[in-house]
Amino acid sequence: MKTTMFCFFLLFTALAGAQVVTIPDANFKAKLLSATTSNNVARDEYGNSIVIDVNGDNNIQQTEALLVYKLKVEEAAISSLEGVQFFNSLRELECNENNLTVLNVSGLDYLEAVECADNQLTELDFSENPSLTELICSNNNLTYINLKNGALHSAATTGINEWNNNPLAFVCTDEGEAAIVNTIAAASGLTDVNTNGYCSFTPGGAYNTITGSVIFDADADGCDTTDVPQRFMKVHSTDGTQSCITFTSATGNYKFYPYTGTYTVTPEFENNYFTATPASATAAFMLLDNSVQTHNFCVTATPTAYSDVEIVMVPIVHAVPGEMASYKMVYKNKGNQVVSGAVSCTWNTALFNNVNTIPAADYAGISLYSWNYTNLKPFESREIIINLNVNGSSNNPPVNTGDVISFTAMAPVGTDALPADNNFVFNQTVVSATNPNNITCIEGETQATSDIGDYLHYVINFKNTGTSTVQNIVITYPVDQDDFDINTLELLNSSLPVTATITGNNAEFVFPNANLMQGKHGNLLIKVKTKSTITQGTHVASRANIYYDYQQPLETNLATTVFGELSTGNFEVDASVKVYPNPAKDTVIISADTAITSIEIYDIQGRLLQTDMPDNNSTTLNIANRATGIYFVKITTTNGSKIEKIIKQ
């Protein structure tokens, strides 16, 4: 019995080793069978010309294919190279001047160079060839090449990389390869090639993964299946030298793609209202072998209770006379307590001839709309869409280009830890037309010097103006680290599912499988603090790049904000000056310890609107006829002066 089993094993092994490679294309098979020790169709690991069909059975066994290190099958009227994937030792492939429309070399891990010029190829994908660094593919009909394989492509051109005479539109590359590819494209006479890594959203070649969830323990009994993972939670990863930040997805998951090394992963919070268990996690990778480590974090509220709600008024479609304008109110519970209440928004309703909100307002009055909300959980954000038909120049009252429309969004909470962000004033300048792919600093073009070091809010709007559905969208947002603290960047709202990462001075927002149809639009809301070290007169600017599938990126406008200060003369600051209530609707009371000699009101652009000279320790300022919005009040007393920002409701 043992002898029979042993013989069977030997027979099975022999049969397995003699498996024949299926090669459907007769011309390809004939070319392989024609290999001799002198014609260089095939070469071995030493560069010697070899016979492939060693046993002479007019077939190619897998064992025979493994002996081939270089394959030259040119000018043979070959239409398909199916079967080449069994040449697993292959380093070089030359298949020029054939009839190939598809070239599939996936799985050839050692393949370093391909020559496939003078065929009929439209696409090339080398993402599964982690050694490939050289490509000659001139005189095809190529529009797309995928070189995102984890290998640094050679920058050599003549005789190494030649891509001439192709309508090439997009080359997908590994990180840091764009300059190399652009050099090759230029040397090949290609001037309009888009180069980036957005054909996929994981690294090319081998990599490792750190993943997990961030869950808020809402009932304070430990994280379990009843607790919900949180979106837009910031998670930081570092190996001690390089750092990366990501934000959790809509399902509360995060991912990093590290290489080898030891990484510390830490959830980060905007304030000190929460703690995480564990506070951080360590992930160590000795090899680059597609390993995955999972580290989940359970977030709990600190013993001290904090109520903290913020609200932002966001322009989605800008105001143009006679057209529809759209806005979004985003309110978020930043505190560690569940809250209920109401949010509201005021604007001059006479400037619009129709109002539509989603959801419908619970209260709609003259210039005031209000929405009730209940059980807004920590980290939870909600939104309200407001669509308004802007008056034209012939309406009464007319709205003209250059007019400023003011909105005040409010989310008051009984005892708020940071009441300053319970109100948000947005002053929008009416325009004659707008680019739908744009960025806006919602605070405006001017900020007081006292606001240095605070958050600026940016909305990035994007719209598919093409003729077909866009599958993937990527927004890159480079941050000037002289002016902004990129570590304070927070992702507040997105109209589509998004994954976000921050590396170096660049934030990247990816909308995979967005499927944005022609004419449809989306938006992204972020906030970031300016550095406290910038000075009066500093202009801070932001711009974004929007990638639609494989097209060249669209560059948005430059959103610029200047930090200025109203003139205070040579007076000392009078800290005794008080201005209240703020916000206010009709009147503001101003008081000081000494006589108030003058009061000056300035608008958000710094224009002087009104001057009063009360000569009293207390006075009432009438603002009933002012438009809703932000104003600066300069109060001068016999002891000095003070500038206060007031909000007119």
Radius of gyration, alpha carbons of the chain? 33
CA distance 347 to 135: 61
DSSP H/E element including 579? strand 578-580
Mean local confidence (pLDDT), 575-587: 84
* pLDDT tier for residue 572 given thresholds of 50, 70 and 90: low
pLDDT at 644: 80
pLDDT at 605: 53
Residue of 596, 561, 588 whose CA lies nearest to 645: 588
- Fold entry, domain 209-301: Immunoglobulin-like (2.60.40)
177 by Cβ neighbours in 10 Å (0-12 / 13-18 / 19+) ranks as: buried
12-69: pLDDT as tens digits = 333 344 699 999 999 999 999 999 999 999 999 999 999 999 999 999 999 999 999 9
pLDDT at 604: 58
pLDDT at 3: 38
User: Tokens standing for 69?
Assistant: 């290190």
Q: Give the CATH number of domain 578-648.
A: 2.60.40.1930
Residue 649 has pLDDT above 70, yes or no: yes
Q: Tokens 């569940």 sit at which residue? A: 338
User: Tokens standing for 243?
Assistant: 């750092």
pLDDT at 588: 87
**Coil/strand/helix, residue 62:** helix
pLDDT at 632: 80
pLDDT at 573: 63
Mean local confidence (pLDDT), 84-109: 97
- Greater confidence (145 vs 1) lies with 145
Residue of 629, 271, 316 whose CA lies nearest to 493: 316
Domain ranges in the chain are 209-301, 435-568, 578-648
CA distance 183 to 189: 10
CA 440 to chain centre: 16
Which of 47-61, 183-197, 208-222, 625-639 shows the lowest mean pLDDT across its residues? 625-639
Give the other-Cβ count within 10 Å of 422's Cβ. Answer: 20
Pick among 3.40.50.300, 3.40.1550.10, 2.60.40.740, 3.30.420.40: CATH of 435-568: 2.60.40.740
- Greater confidence (283 vs 419) lies with 283
pLDDT at 8: 33
Q: Which residues pair with 510 in a beta bridge?
A: 474, 499
* pLDDT tier for residue 568 given thresholds of 50, 70 and 90: very low
* pLDDT tier for residue 607 given thresholds of 50, 70 and 90: low
* pLDDT tier for residue 614 given thresholds of 50, 70 and 90: confident
CA atoms within 13 A on the CB side of 209: 15
Domains 435-568 and 578-648 share a fold: yes
- Cβ atoms of 635 and 642 within 8 Å: the answer is yes
pLDDT at 622: 85
* pLDDT tier for residue 475 given thresholds of 50, 70 and 90: very high
Residue 608 has pLDDT above 90, yes or no: no
pTM: 0.82
Residue of 410, 232, 425 whose CA lies nearest to 331: 410
Share of the chain above pLDDT 70, in %: 95
393-445: pLDDT as tens digits = 899 999 999 888 989 999 988 888 888 899 998 999 999 988 999 999 999 98
CA distances to 440, 485, 559 from 453, rounded to whole Å, are 19, 9, 18
